[in-house]
Amino acid sequence: MALLPILVHPDERLHQVAKPVAAVDERIRKLAADMAETMYEARGIGLAATQVNIQERIIVIDLSEEHDSLLVLINPVITHKDGQTTYEEGCLSVPGVYDTVTRAESVRVEFLDLAGDKQALETDGLLAICIQHEIDHLDGKLFVEYLSPMKQTRIRTKMKKRKKEMKQAA
């Protein structure tokens, strides 16, 4: 397994729309394992392939403290949303920024698993929020785009300043 570099906002590659996975094969299984390792190392609970500059529709999620409940969703599609909830979200591609976002309270998602078999999952709470957040990444959208234009500008400025400081420190 290998750690993958995570793209950081305002990197334009984060706005690319990922293409469906044509076939679930060993390459995809290795990519999912590398994404999971990267997510765990970065102390995240979800990661989309677009965040590691791979434009394919794959997400990994693990909400467990023990890192023993990995969920891999290939070509995920939300087929039903219900209710509304708000939650303070963060993102590995927007480090250090947290803000409240309104999303559906529960979702039904259809996807392929690592064996290439079609699955469906109905869920709510944090898992539903995480699935919506990660699918947004596959569609080229960041959680900060749900915020006011003023907050978006402030965050973009903060991320550019952080990038500049990291380059100077290197």
Which tens digits make up the pLDDT trace of 132-160?
999 999 999 999 999 999 999 999 888 88
CB 130 within 8 A of CB 85: no
pLDDT band at 36 (very low <50, low <70, confident <90, very high): very high
Mean pLDDT, residues 126-133 taken together = 98
- pTM for the whole thing? 0.94
Say yes or no to pLDDT of 66 above 80.
Answer: yes
**124 within 8 A of 37, measured Cβ to Cβ:** no
DSSP 8-state symbol, 118: E
Q: Which residues sit in the known binding site?
A: 91, 133, 137
Q: Report the candidate in 15, 101, 93 with the shortest Cα–Cα distance to residue 55.
A: 15
Q: Is residue 128 a contact partner of residue 106, using CB atoms and an 8 Å limit?
A: yes
Could you tell me which residues are annotated as the binding site for Fe cation?
Answer: 91, 133, 137
Residues that are catalytic: 134
Beta bridge partners of 58: 74
Of 56, 59, 37, 63, residue with least CA distance to 48? 59
**Residue-level pLDDT at 140:** 97
The overall average pLDDT reported for the chain is 95
In this prediction, residue 123 has a pLDDT band, given cuts at 50, 70 and 90, of very high
